[in-house]
Amino acid sequence: MPINVLMPALSPTMEKGNLAKWLKKEGDAVKSGDVLAEIETDKATMEVEAIDEGVLAKILVPEGTADVPVNDLIAIIAAEGEDVSEAAAGGAPKAASNGAAKPDAKPEPKADASAANQNTTPGGGHMGYERVNAAPEGAQPGGAPQASTGGRVFASPLARRIAKQEGVDLGAVQGSGPHGRIIARDVQAAKASGATQAPAAPQAAEAPKAATPAPKAAAAGGAPAGLTTDQVKGFYAKDAYEEVPLDGMRKTIAKRLTEAMQVAPHFYLTVDCELDALMKLRETLNGSAAKDKDGKPAFKLSVNDFVIKAMGLALTRVPAANAVWAEDRILRFKHAEVGVAVAIDGGLFTPVIRRADEKTLSTISNEMKDFAARARAKKLKPEEYQGGVTSVSNLGMFGIKHFTAVINPPQSSILAVGAGEKRVVVKDGAPAVVQVMTCTLSCDHRVLDGALGAELVSAFKGLIENPMGMLV
The residues that are catalytic are: 445
Nearest to 456 by CA among 353, 336, 354: 336
Nearest to 187 by CA among 141, 218, 220, 153: 220
Residues 24-41: b if buried by 16+ CB within 10 A, e if exposed: beeeeebeeeeebbbbbb
Phi, psi of 371 (to 5 degrees): -60, -45
Residues 178, 331: Cα–Cα separation, whole Å: 25
CB contact at 8 A, 339 and 350: yes
Phi, psi of 220 (to 5 degrees): -105, 110
* Runs of H (alpha helix) within 288-397: 303-317, 361-376, 382-385
Residues 268, 454: Cα–Cα separation, whole Å: 10
> Pairing mode, if any, of strands 29-30 and 54-59?
antiparallel
SS3 call for 214: coil
Count other Cβ atoms within 10 Å, centred on residue 442: 26
Peptide bond into 410 cis (omega under 30): yes
Residues 319, 388: Cα–Cα separation, whole Å: 15
SS3 call for 136: coil
Residues 46, 55: Cα–Cα separation, whole Å: 22
> Pairing mode, if any, of strands 45-49 and 35-40?
antiparallel
Phi, psi of 375 (to 5 degrees): -65, -45
From the centroid of its chain, how far is CA 147?
Answer: 26
From the centroid of its chain, how far is CA 329?
Answer: 19
Amino acid identity of residue 222, one-letter, is G
